[in-house]
Every structure is written in C-alpha cells, then in structure tokens.
Structure 1
Amino acid sequence: MAIVITSILFVLIGLALGGGGAWLVALGGSPFYLFAGLMFLATAVLLFKRRAAALWVYALLVLAALIWAIWEVGFDWWQLGPRGGLIIILGLWLLTPWIRRPLGFRSTMGSQYPANPWPLAVPVIIAAGAAIYSMTTDPHDLAGELPGPVTLHTPVQAKAAMGGDVPDGEWHQYGRTPYGQRYSPLDQITPQNVANLKLAWQYQTGDVKRPDDVGETTYQVTPLKIADTLYLCTPHNLAIALDAATGKEKWRYDPNSGMNPNRQHQTCRGVTYYRDVAAPPGSACAERVYLPTSDARLIALDAANGQVCTSFADKGTLRLDTNMKYDPAGYYYSTSPPVAVLGKIIVGGAVNDNYSTQEQSGVIRAFDINTGALDWNWDSGNPDVTTPLPAGQFYTTNSPNSWSVSSVDEGLGLIYVPLGNQPPDQLGMNRSPSVEKYSSSIVALDIATGQVKWVRQFVHHDLWDMDVPAQPSLLDITGKDGTTVPALVGPTKQGDIYVLDRRTGEPLIPVKEVPAPAGTIPEDRASPTQPLSDLSFMPDPLVEKDMWGVSLFDQLACRIKFHQLKYEGRYTPPSLQGSLIYPGNFGTFNWGGVAVDPERQVMFGMPTYLAFTSRLIPSDQIPPKGQDQKGSEQGLNRNDGAPYGVFLGPFLSPLGVPCQAPPWGYVAGADLRTGKIAYMHKNGTVQDMTPLPLPFKIGVPGIGGPIITKGGVAFLGAAVDNYLRGYDLTTGRELWRGRLPAGGQSTPMTYIAGDNKQYVLIVAGGHGSIGTKPGDYVMAYTLP
C-alpha cells in the first residue's frame, strides 16, 4: 500500500514540477524543474512496476539537484534548503523498508530481500553533508571594523559638533539635537556591560489599535527627555508626560482628533519642545510641547501640566489645512514633529499617496512659535515666492511634500528638508519644471526667509515613490588634508548614502550619473540617467536564481512570475504588464534613517531589501471605490483624476513569503570619511513571522531607526521580530537583546535620570503595514 501511495504522490509532484517547469522553459528560464518533474514521473512509474531501478533514477535526481543548487547559489543554506529539502526527505522515505522491500527480490528459499539501498543512500548522504556544511557558512556576511573609539591619543577635532545646546543626559529633539545625529554622548553602557541591561520600568499608554483603524496604524514615536520628564505622543495623538526615572504618568492631553477612514496613516513620530527664554521661569507656557494631530492641527501645550497654551494661534490650535484648494478630510496631516528654531516652528505634512490628483499641497511653512502667525511659506510648486500667502489664494495642489523630519544648522541659518514626490508617484506626465527640480531631493532653505539656498536631487523624474524618507544627519567630517567640512548625510530608499557639504549641497563622497532603463508608457518618459553615490547599499540586480520559496513549488512560481514581469534593474519604469521594482517602495532606508557618530565620523544603519511590483491600470478598468482602496504601499492606488491607477505590493510567493532569497535585512556600518562600508551582518529572526516561534537568524526586514552612544553601543529595534538589540558599533556584532511585548517599529533614545543612571528607552506598539504585534508599551532599560 505504501508504494502505491508513494507512486501517486510522485505522479502529482512530477506533473506540478513538469508542467510548471515547461512553462518556465518557455519563458527562457531554468530547465531544472522540467527535468525534475520528468524524473519524479519516471520514478513513479518504476515504483508502480516494483522496479529497483526507481532508486537509481531517483539517485540521479538527487545528484543532479545537488550539483544544480550548488552551481546556482553555492553553499548558502537558506537557498539550498528549498531546492533540495523535499527531494532529500522523499529520498529518505524511499530508503525505508516499506518501499525497498517491494522493490527487492524473492530468493529460491522464499525469503523477501529489499532492494539495495546504497545506490540512493550514497547521493542522499552526500547531499545531507553539503547541507550540514552550508549551515556553518554565511556567504552574506561582511566582517570588518569601523575606526575605534576616540581616546586621548586619537587625533580628532577638539570637540565634535552635535548641534544645539542639549545637556548630555537629555534628548530634546527627534534626533536628539537639531543635527539629527541620533547620537548620545553617554557612556555608562559599553560593549563590556551591555549584556547586563534589565527592564527598569514599563508603562502602557492605553492607546491601543482599534477595530475601525486604518491598516497603517503604527507606533513610531521617539520620546523627548527634558530635565526629569519624558514627552511623547501616541498613534491617536494623545500627548503624555512621564517621570523619566520611574515611568509614572505626570499628565496627558487628548486632542480628540477622531477617526477618519480616508486617512492613509494613523501615527505620531514625536512632539516638539520649546522653551521661551524671554518668559519668566515657571510662568504658564514658558516651556511648551507642540502636538501635531491627524486632523491637521498643531496644538501648543504647557510642558508643565499639559494645559493648552491659548496665546498660540486660535486659542492654542493652529489649522494646517488653510489655503489648500482641495481639502478632503483625512488626506493631510503632519505625521512627524515640526522643527522649533530661532523663534519659528516649521511644519511639513504627509499627504495620502496616490489617492487622487486633487490633494493638499506639500508646502513647508514657518510660523511664529509664540503667536502662530505665518512667517513664510515655501511651496515646491511655486518655489520663488515665500512671503505669506494672502487669504483667498492657494498653495500648489499636489506639490512634493515633506512627511519626514527636517534638520537645522543654526550657525549657517539653514533648515534641510527631505522632500517626496508629487502624487501620483508612478505617473510623471504633466509635471511642472519646479516639480521636476525639487521632487525626491533635499532642499536647504533659509530659516529667516524660506528662500532656497541649494537643492540636491536623488532621483530624476521619479516614477517609483522614492521619497527622501529620512531626517538628514549633520556632522563635521575631517578631510584627508586635516580640514573640517560641515557635512550632511542623506539616506535614501534606493540604498544610496549621500554625503554632502551642507553649505552648498556639493558631494563630499563622489556622485556620478549612470544610465537608467527606458521603456515607459507612451504618455510618459524616463530619465536617461540617475545619480549614484559611491557610498551605496544598493543591492545587486535580481536574476532568476535569486528567486526563493520555502519549497520547490513556490520557488518555481516565483521564477515564472519573475520572467513575466518587466525588469531591467534599478529604476525599471512601471508598466501595464507589471514591473519589478528593486529596491522596492518599502525602501532600503526609510524614515528611521541612520545614526552617525560625530567623533568617530561613522554611520550605523539597517539596510532592508524587499522587491515590489508595480502594475499600471487604465482608469476605465478601475473598479468602484471600496473601503480597502486607501492608496498605500500595498494594494490598489486609485489616482482618481489620472489616466492610470497603480497596483503595488511586495513581490511575494503564493505562500506569502518574499519571492527573493534572504537575507532581507542587515545591520551595517560605514566610514563617512572614506565612504567605505566596513561590515554588513544579517539582522533579526523569523521568530514572529511564522506560526511556530522559530528563532532562525535569517536577516529580516524592518522599519525604524538606530541610535549610537559614546559608550560604543548602537541600539535598534525595527526588525519584524519583537526585540530591542544592542550592537558593538565597531564590529556590528549583536551583544544583547531584550524581548518586547509588541513590535518595536520606533527609534529608541537614551538619557540620564535623576538617579544618575543611563536608560535606554523604546516604544513598542507595532506597525500595521508590516503586520507586527500592536501594543501601547513604553519600555526603559538600565544596568543593575
């Protein structure tokens, strides 16, 4: 009976692999799957006929599969396993007595002898040995070291500039200082003692994900620490103050921003702190916290008690949706904290990607931080006029916006604004010259007037939603001649790290223009070249052998899909047939950016690699609007009013795992003086990605940002397994990890509390788009 069932199973496998393999060959792909299907069918026939030759035929398949797999991917366990796992398991089954006995022979004395196992056993043992050996290697690991910690004998500038006047034990802005370095000069926690970190306290905000929330409800906040108080916001825009040493709540404020199903995001990355030096100490609203809300308001609160500062704007509330020609509720708000500088509060805003052609403007506005009066406005659709827009006039509809965080150099009088693309992101027709100039760039604006000082574009004629997603990091870099240059580090979705002179925008690490694919739809065009930085985490172009799956079957499906998609490397234009976009919309770097050490002049980051697909849909073929059509990185983006919608999503197998082979996520370090990548290590496990909690370190994607401490430890959550990790900054090796009760898709921070102990804090609340566990936790760790 066993041999009959096995024969039927082999027939089914053979038909699936043979049919799919023939399809793949017709598309110009590998012939192995067709060969394997035929070998399964041949083995099935011989098994059914009770022929011992079945073992010989299957042995040939085992050897052929081993040679083919090693030829394609070398000794990479996570790629060898799906290619040979099923074949080896079935080979072991064929070696059992239940199969070999019917294939044997009966002696003249009537005894039944099973078939000789060795013709098949030897190839199976060899394949198993190759698999075991591959488990001991990591072909994706790049080992190396960054320059070591600064010592008394290290020749460096006298004192590294960190921006602003922030006490060492505090964290005043999203990136700690106006420079956005995410660097702390604290050094109690070191590579030698970080393994001793323990949870000091835990607080729950009570703001949990609701049944009626939009898909991208996320908890991305980095709290601020001023004096003895932590200030944070929640996804539904509660503002909360906590005692930094104990986590005890001091006050909370609820702006009642309501729910709106048209919102694309429901998040808050942070609040903004401001101290009025002219106000008497201790007076009402002498210190303020500014809270952006998801119904497009900015509210000023007294940092001491959470009361509304009624002297600001209209009784404490500033409307951010004024002077917008089209103002549909839920389409626009500031998801990131505004910048407080030189008596101004400067605000950008997020618009719903790819909803329609009639959305709010991406204007950047500076308001008087005390009164809320409009000081200047810079609209990338009308960039030369920055004087306040009169009542009754409108900012440019759908102009490129800044949804991330800006950085400031008060000495130079400049604010550095990361800009996105003009919606619809995948359609470049009818863009104005100013939009073409400023899309997907960093622009330096004069803090006093809003006038442009320089612009550096990172994608020409962006058709891929390659926004500049991260806050630029500012530091001073020592050149080979010993001179110090004020620099800006700009991470991008496509994986390039741009290191620029922040006075002029000129590259300090070379940037070149390289040819880019053409072949757009007839109404559009593609830029013939695109910029490429010499410091880049850009992945190699995908080829068929990079297709992955947990089995031969979904791997075969991914190979077929790969050949069906249009793909000519990075910047393949969107198409009607469907294009493969790699790096994908998720970005090699996203809003979490990188952390830089201004003393060692190095960076630490988390490059992520996930391919996406982009398929244009003629507007007359788009179905009536449904509740799941929110416009996002997954699903149908309608682009109402445009000739095409677009269907976006990760490039996944039929089983819902990435079609491209892992690793999908790394930690990496680079020397910013030389532009050389020192190390890249797989980061994260599949523990929270699979039904079984398997802690396999495969290198998983994530979203969130890192921090660096002077003690030589970098901290990062972000990965889709629920951990906060500590790394040796010099080598990138993981030294510690703390289990989180929910997804840690926020950037951590560190501070000194009243007990003179260094704490590391992260908010764990999950991320709706990547499916991590939601929560409402604030977690603080310290040494015993």
Structure 2
Amino acid sequence: MWRESKFGKVISMIHIILASLILLFGGALVFGGVRLGLLGGSWAYLVLGVLLALSALLLLARRKSGLAIYAVAITFAIGWGVWEVGLYWWGLAPRVGIIILLGLLLLLPAVVRSLPHGSPGFRGYGIEGVGLVGAIMLSVIVVGLAMATQSKDLPGEFAQTRMDQDTAEVPRGDWSAYGGTIAGQRYSPLAQITPENVSELEVAWEYHAGDIHVDLPGTALESTPLIVNDTMYLCTPQSEIIALDPVTGKERWRFSPNLVGLTDKLSTYATCRGLSYHDATSLGWEVSGEPPPDKKQALSLVEASMAGVTIDASGAAQNVVAGTAQAGAPNPVIVDDAPTNAEPIRLDCLRRIFLPTRDARLIAVSAETGIICPGFGGEDGTVNLWIGQPNVSPTTYYSTSPPLVTNEVVVVGGSVNDNLSNALPSGVVRAFDIRTGRLVWNFDPGNPESTEPITVGETYTQNVPNNWSLASYDPELNLVYLPMGSGSPDQYGGDRTPEQERFSASVVAVNASTGEVRWSFQTVHHDIWDYDVPAQPSLIDLTISGQVVPALVQPTKQGEIFVLDRRTGEAILPTEEIAVSQNAVEGEQPAPTQPVSTISFAPDDVTGADMWGLSPVDQMMCRISLAQLRYEGRYTPPSLEGTLTHPGSFGIFNWGAVAVDPVRQIMFGMPVYLGFISRLIPRPNTLDEIVSAPGYPMGNENFGTPYAAVLRPFMSPLGLPCQSPPWGYIAGVDLTTGETVYQHVNGTVRDVAPIPLPFEAGVPGIGGPIVTGGGLAFLSGTVDYYVRGYDLASGEELWRSRLPAGGQSTPATYMGHDGRQYLVVVAGGHGYVGTKLGDAVIAYSLSRSKSQ
C-alpha cells in the first residue's frame, strides 16, 4: 500500500509538472501574442497559447480532454507552420519541436493513468489519447518530409570546362600575393589535389604563432600566408613577421617592429591580414658591396634590426579627435625623410617583404633574413604613414591589409576608425617609390585632381573615404583598382560634402604611375549602412559572345556582384537602379535609388514568418522586435527607434572576397546573411561617451555630429539570430552569363549552438575561398571550426578537417620542394564573430606515396 501510494505521488508529480509547464508556455504565448497582434503581427501565437493554456487547465483537472485539446494545438502549429514556411525543417522547428516533445511526454502511461476523467477505451488512453497520437504522427510525417528535403538548396553543375585562357603567367608553385597574384583571383593552377583524392588530405605539420589576445575582442590572427621561393611568410596581430619552412613548418626567423605610440584605451582592435612581396632581382638595381649575412650572422642581426626601428608612429601625443587632449591642440607635422636618390641596396634586400604595422608604418625587411632593409624610407627601412595626415592620433588610422606592389611603387591605403568623430585622418591612398620609399603620388578623395606629393606643412582632406581593403593591379593597363569605404560616420551622412560623397562605396581605377583617376563605379549611393566596398576586386578575362573582355569582378557587402570592364568601368553584365526607402531622420537625405546587378545575392525582404528561435516563445519575441523596428526593405535608413539593416554591416561578402577560376570562368563565393539593428542616439556637442560599452571604448560616438549610433546583431533573448537559417551558403556563378549555377547551405551549428550538435543549418562566417586548377575550392571562414574542400563543378562538399579555433582567414596553396601540393590554413578565430581565438597554422597534403 505504501509503495502504491508513493508511486501514485510520483505519477501525480510528473503530471502536475508537465501541465504546469504547458500552462506557463501557453500563458507566455497568450501575453506575447496579444502584444504582437496589436503591433500588426500574426495572431497565431495567441491562438496557440490559448489552446495550450486550455489543455493545461484540463490536464490539471485530471481530464483526458486536455489531451484532445493538446492534439488540436499540435495540428494547428504544424498547419500554421507549413502555411508560413512550407516544408522547410529549420522554419518548422521552432513552431513544433518543443510542442511535439511535450506531447510525447503526455503520452507516457504513468501520465495517462493520472487522468481518470474521460473515455476509458484503447488501453486506457481513450479517444482523446488516440487523437494526440494521431496528431503527433501527422507532425512526424510532415517533419520527416521537411528533413528529407533541403528547400533552400539550389543544385546544379557546370556543364563544361572552358580552356580559353592562358594562365602561364601564374607562378605554378607559389602563392606570392594575398590573392594568389596581384590580380586578386585567389586561384592556383596546381592540380595534384583533385576531387578524386581530396578526401585523403592529412595534416602535414602544425605551427603555433604565440600571439593570442583574449582580452581584446577585435584582435585576431587572420593572416593569409605568402609562399615564395620555398619560404612561408605570415604576420600577427602584433605586426610581427614569421618566416617558416613550408614543408616542415619549422620557424626560420621572426621580425618584430616594436610597436610604439599606442594606448590601451584605443587598441581593442588589431589585425594584419597579410604581407606583400617584391622581387627586384631582374630590375638592374645597383647592389652595395656589403655582402648579405650568412645564416649565423642573420640570426644575430635580427634582434638588432628590431631594436633599430625607433620612429614614433605619430611623433606627437594624441590629438583632440580621440577626446584625450586639449581642444585646439596643433596637428603635428610629420616629414617625409626618405632618400631622394636610390642608394645601392644590400644583396639580400633585392627580395623584400613589406609589412604594414599597427602603429601606421610601412617597413621593408629582407625576405631571406628578416633583417630591415635600410634605404626604404630611411636607415631604419621605415616609411611613416602619418606623413601629411590631419588629426594625428594613434590607432585611429593604420593599414590592416597588405599594400599593393608594382615594379615602380608600393600603393598603401589605410583603415580609419570610422564612427569615432567627424574630424578623423584622411582616407588618402599613397604610392611610395618601391626602392627608396619616397612619396610618388597621392590620391586624396577630397582633392583627386592634385596627385603630386603634398609639401611639408600641408595635410590631406580629413574624413574622406578610405581604402582599408586590398587593391588589385593590371600591369598591361597600368591601373590600380581601389575598393573604397565611406567617410565617417557610417550611419549618418547629412553633413557630408560632395568630396566625401564622390568616391564613397566605390571601386576606383587610378594610374599606377601618377595616381590619376581613370574611372570610378559607385556600388552604393550616399552610403549610410556601412556598406563600404570591402573586398579585393578580382581581375579576369571573360569570353562573352565570342569576344575576350578584360573584366573586374567586385563583390559587395549588400550582396551585389558587379562585373565591369576594367578598362572603362562600364558594366559588362547589366545593372539597374531600384527605388529605395526615403524615410530618414531629420537632416538626412537618402539617395532615391540604388544599383543592383545581374549577379545578386541580395536577401529577400524580411517578414515575420522569417523569424526564428528554439521555441515559439523566443520566436514570437523576435517577431515582436521586428514589428517594433523600422524596416522597409534593404536600404532602410537608420532611425531613432531602431532600424533592421539586412544585410548587416558584416555584409554578405566582406574582405574575404570571392575566388575566380580564369580557365573555367567560374566564381566561387561564400554569401552569408545576418541582420543588424542600427539605432541613432541624439548626442550633445561634447566629448562625452554616451554609447561606448565596457571593453569597446570609443564606439560609434561620432563626436562632432548630431547622432551617435548603436549597432548590434539582430538576436533573440537566447543569443541566437532572429532570422531563420540558413545564415550561410557556398555558391558557384557562371561569370559569362551571370547565372548562379548552384547554391548550397554551408556549415553546421556545432560551435554556435547551446548544445554542440552537427546540424547542417548553414552558418555565417568571415574569410575567403580559393580555387585550384584541380577543380577544387577550399574555405575555412565559417563559424564552425572546419576547413572544407568542395567540387568546384557542383559545390559538393568532399572533405572537411576539424580546426582548433575559428578559421577566419583565407587559405593558400603551394607546391613544396618535396613535390607535394600543400593547403595551408590559419586558425586564429575572431572575437567579433564569436569564434574561439587561436594561433595555429596548419598545412595539409596527400601522403608522399599518393603525391607521386
């Protein structure tokens, strides 16, 4: 009797807990459903909440009719879900997943026995229980159909391989520039690794750079290595150069620039995406009588060369722009002290590595020894990039991307600390003599007609668009192609000048010898969404209607891929202007139209049905948030109440760019989708911080403007994206027609979900792909920790390997001196993306026996 009594109490407890949970669940849906409905959203949550609450009350009254009402709730949820999102599993999951699970628990025999009031048949389950079984079976069938299909995939395959192009100029074994070559294709003709054997890739070696900064969330190792003349070069967040043996991974030397002039307050973001290499051995330069050091001497001289770099980054204390000095403080004059005549060069400096540093310098070191090459900018091999800059203030300006090198000049842009102030350094792009470091020309977007080097005491135009990403170069046309950002602030443009607008969010072609503008193409008019052009242009010759056309492929944050004639800037594939929202804050004047391209990965307009969550409750809360935001499609201006900006400022494509195969004339890319909330905050005309968060000082304060800005990803209360998956794809495009041949959901939620389950949901990421002559594409940029290999013809994933941290960089491939083709990946993570930080450099290859 005691045992029966105790067992009965346990049964009753389970019954009460389940019913109470369903009542709580239903009550939340009723409360939120009313709120959502009054905001103009769906009333379905209210209906579902009422059904669940009624079911719970009946269950608490020990009536089996509660099971019947719960069956109605399940049927309603599945029918409503299919009506809104069709047979798409990730869209159905929030609406039915937890409800089905609770329904299965209600069918436990112990729970059913605790419901004496109702029909007794069917082994005590009654008609009510049978109805619930039927509703669950219906749901399982629908869910099974949804899981068996991938409705967001676009399957396809390239039908033929074009062999029109001569790629003999591509170094077969090297990866000599960030984008493979100065054309920015991210292509290698190496073909030892193929779709047939890629699954047999294995780790050849692993190296750790020892530069991790978990206390600085924006600081990450995201370098793409160079591999030239049997040496691998990469750079670290601390602006160090590391040289490795590309076959063994053994460190050969390391160079540190001794960063100066920085403060903790303004140094929360630091990166070095890559280095630049130049070989002058065939240029006939005069070589000094000083012999290059041997290996033993070189090792002893490296440390001495580091100590020799002593030029202060700014030569002055921080200026008023950072809010840390007195108003009216004079702008320091930084003088160009590079030699006027080319002195004889040390033999080992005929091959040089150019390093952009975090404290705004450009340093030349020997590619052989890692020792500074004197004569480039001075005896310390350094050009001070603060020359001619207004508003000098450490860390508000430096070059995060490798410069572009020709046989005449080194072309350098820079990243300006957008959204700090309306009195920032200039976005000027400069070319320095490749041998001496003497300034040759300057492209100042605020004064583009005057490209002669400015004189001592002059400064460039403050706050104009900057070129923070990578440039490309066509030696036959002698044109440099510059992807440009916008002047600060990003989210408000009411005070911008015509000079700030002219080249904003544009790709600009300038003469490599003079800096003269040849043409420009604007990808966003009056950019107020941080849609700067983030990616290196890819140069490729396309065969269109039987004619070979020199083309430029330009990815953008807003998802448009513009294909232009790189001689003139005219569109090869058609573009058009579309009307956009004009609903902006006082003082703002949005552009009436925006350009779109034949190749477009622009997202569909967001609706309430697109909202997502782990349950109907957090999904409903996302719908409430959406209803409270201003959203009138892509290009909705930022607002005081908050605007959904989709795509967000991370963009559909970012600095990782795309890869193009010049033989097959295929583009391979990683479009990603993550919305942001952009809110403007009226600010006083002071230096008070009103929006900076702890750990992110000097956020979007926009000193000197009417508004500060707050940006954050559009997330649910549980920290998951409010938008339904997929959040990331891989895609293949025929560049001759503009057709997207395939687009596949890419990546798992293993490293972003509360429970590490390897569900293929399609995840966002940052970093770029490469393609090879073997018919493969490689990518490591997703927020799950994998590097993947794909069949370039179909986009099918053929291989993956687990990484120890996020792979937010672009891989490279090369031929080792042992005759094996290698793939190298840097797994440095990225705090702003939310991936684990790391310092691993990992090389993969086929086994020696299979590489023959």
TM-score (norm 1): 0.95
Which residue of the other structure, out of 332, 336, 340, is the alignment partner of 2:405?
340
2:619 alignment partner in structure 1: 555
Match of 1:519 among 545, 567, 583: 583
Q: How many Å apart are 1:107 and its aligned residue?
A: 11
Matches of 2:527 and 2:491, distance apart in 1 = 7
Counterpart CA distance in 2 for 1:174 and 1:677 is: 26
**Equivalent position of 1:579 in the other structure:** 643
Secondary structure at 1:380's aligned position in 2?
coil
Note closer, same or farther for the CA distance 1:406–1:650 as it changes in structure 2 (3 Å cut).
Answer: same
Which amino acid counterpart does residue 475 of structure 2 have in structure 1? Answer: E
Aligned to 1:143: 155
- Aligned counterparts of 1:56 and 1:688: Cα–Cα separation in 2: 39
Output the CA distance in 2 between the equivalents of 1:168 and 1:294: 32
Tell me how far apart the structure 2 counterparts of residues 245 and 566 of structure 1 sit (CA, whole Å): 54
Aligned AA for 2:65? Answer: A
In the alignment, is residue 738 of structure 1 matched against residue 801 of structure 2? yes
Give 1:307 shift.
0.6
Distance change in 2, residues 1:47/1:231 (3 Å): same
Deviation at 1:691, TM superposition (A): 4.2
* 2:131 partner amino acid: P
The match for 1:47 is 59
Q: Secondary structure at the match of 1:504?
A: coil
Partner of 2:448: 383
RMSD (CA atoms) = 1.9
* Partner secondary structure for residue 711 of structure 2: strand
Give deviations 1:471-510, integer Å, cap 9, x for gaps: 0000101111x11110000000000000000000000000
Counterpart of 2:32 in structure 1: which amino acid?
G
Paired residue type of 1:285: C
Superposition deviation, residue 37 in structure 1: 1.3
From 694, 718, 721, the counterpart of 1:628:
694
Q: Describe the superposition over 1:216-253 as per-residue Cα deviations: whole angstroms up to 9, x where unpaired.
A: 11222111111111111111111011112111111110
Is residue 11 from structure 1 mapped to residue 23 from structure 2 by the alignment?
yes
For residue 235 of structure 1, what is the aligned residue in structure 2?
237
Q: Is the 8 A contact 2:783 2:835 kept in 1?
A: yes
1:663 correspondence with 2:734:
no
| Superposition map of 1:432-447 within 5 A | 432-447=497-512
The answer as to whether partners of 1:354 and 1:631 remain within 8 angstroms in 2 is: no
Which range moves more in the overlay, 436-445 or 83-92?
83-92
Deviations 1:459-478 (A, max 9, x none): 00001000100000001011
SS in structure 2 opposite 1:558?
helix
Once the two structures are TM-superposed, the CA of residue 626 in structure 1 deviates from its matched residue by: 5.1
Deviation at 1:624, TM superposition (A): 4.8
Evaluate the alpha carbon distance shift between residue 107 and residue 514 of structure 1 in structure 2; reply closer, same or farther with a 3 A threshold.
closer
Counterpart residue number, 2:423: 358
Instruction: Trace 1:451-470 onto structure 2 (pairs within 5 A).
Output: 451-470=516-535
Contact 2:188 2:772 in 1 (8 A): yes
Q: Quick one: distance in 2 between partners of 1:275 and 1:86?
A: 62
- Residues in 2 aligned to 1:17 and 1:662: alpha-carbon distance in whole angstroms: 23
User: Shift in Å at residue 264 of structure 1?
Assistant: 5.2
1:582-601 correspondence runs (5 A): 582-601=646-665
Cα distance in 2 for residues equivalent to 1:48 and 1:458: 61
Deviations 1:12-33 (Å, cap 9, x if unpaired)?
A: 2222110000000001111111
Counterpart of 1:103 in 2: which secondary structure? coil
1:607·1:666 contact (CA, 8 Å) conserved in 2? Answer: yes
Bigger shift: 656-665 or 250-259?
250-259
Q: C-alpha separation between the residues in 1 aligned to 2:39 and 2:792?
A: 46
Q: 2:689·2:701 contact (CA, 8 Å) conserved in 1?
A: no
- Counterpart of 1:448 (choices 513, 524, 533) is 513
**Aligned mates of 1:764, 1:576 — CA distance in 2:** 39
1:535 is matched with 599
Structure 1 unpaired stretches of 5+ = none
**Displacement of 1:104 after TM fit?**
2.7
Aligned to 1:506: 570
Corresponding residue of 1:209: 213
Match of 1:263 among 263, 267, 276: 267
Is residue 2:495 matched to residue 1:430?
yes
Match of 2:116 in 1: 104
Q: 5+ unaligned residues in a row in structure 2: which ranges?
A: 1-11, 293-346, 848-852
Aligned to 1:654: 717
> Once the 2 structures are TM-superposed, how far is the Cα of residue 88 of structure 1 from its aligned partner?
0.9
Return the alpha-carbon distance in structure 1 between the equivalents of residues 371 and 823 of structure 2.
Answer: 28
Q: Of the candidates 598, 608, 614, which is equivalent to residue 678 of structure 2?
A: 614
- 2:490 maps to amino acid: D
One-letter amino acid of the counterpart of residue 227, structure 1: N
Match of 2:741 in 1: 678
CA distance in 1, matches of 2:415, 2:188: 29
Q: Which residue does 1:491 correspond to in 2?
A: 555
The alignment partner of 1:129 has SS state of: helix
Scaled by the length of structure 2, the TM-score of the pair is 0.88
Q: CA deviation at 1:574?
A: 0.2
Q: Which amino acid aligns with 2:668?
A: F
**Counterpart in the other structure of 1:184:** 188
Counterparts of 1:233 and 1:105 in 2: how far apart (Å)? 73
Determine if contact 2:691/2:700 at 8 Å carries over to the other structure: no
**Which residue of 2 is the match for residue 120 of structure 1?**
132
| 2:446 and 2:500 in contact (8 A); partners too | yes
Asked if structure 2 preserves the Cα contact closer than 8 Å seen for 1:750 and 1:758, the reply is: yes
One-letter code aligned to 1:71? W
Residue by residue over 1:335-388, the C-alpha shift from the partner in whole angstroms, topping out at 9 and shown as x without a partner, is 000011132001000011211112111000001111111100001111111110
Task: Give, in whole Å, the separation in 2 of the partners of 1:113 and 1:191.
Answer: 59
Q: Counterpart of 2:307?
A: none
2:361 aligned partner: 297
Deviation at 1:263, TM superposition (A): 3.2
Larger CA deviation: 287-296 vs 249-258: 249-258
Shift of 1:630: 3.9
| TM superposition shift of 1:105 | 5.0
| CA distance in 2 between partners of 1:500 and 1:528 (Å) | 23
| Percent identical | 50
Contact 1:186/1:709, CA 8 A, preserved across alignment? yes
- CA deviations over 1:674-724 (Å, ceiling 9, x no partner): 010000001111111134331111100000000000000111100001111
CA distance in 2, matches of 1:408, 1:581: 33
Give deviations 1:707-756, integer Å, cap 9, x for gaps: 00000011110000111110000000100011111111110111111111
Partner Cα distance (1:107, 1:721) in 2: 51
Q: Distance in 2 between matches of 1:147 and 1:237?
A: 45
Number of the residue aligned with 2:311: none
- Counterpart pick for 1:471 among 525, 536, 541: 536
Helix, strand or coil for the counterpart of 2:16? helix
Could you say what secondary structure the match of 1:273 adopts?
strand
Taking the aligned partners of 1:209 and 1:280, their CA distance within structure 2 comes to: 43
Aligned to 2:753: 690
The one-letter amino acid paired with 1:260 is T
Secondary structure of residue in 2 paired with 1:202 = strand
- Give the one of 381, 386, 395 matched to 1:330: 395
CA deviations over 1:657-685 (Å, ceiling 9, x no partner): 00000000000000000010000001111
2: CA distance between counterparts of 1:386 and 1:434?
15
For 1:738 and 1:534, the matched residues in 2 are separated by: 35
1:115-162 deviation digits (Å, cap 9, x = unpaired) = 442021111111122112211110000000124334xxx5x24x14x7
Q: Distance in 1 between matches of 2:715 and 2:781?
A: 21
Q: Secondary structure at the match of 1:284?
A: helix
Matched, 1:321 2:386: yes
The Cα shift of 1:576 comes to 0.3
1:226 to 225, 228, 237: 228
Q: Look up the equivalent residue of 2:784 and give its one-letter code.
A: D
State the 1:92 CA deviation: 1.4
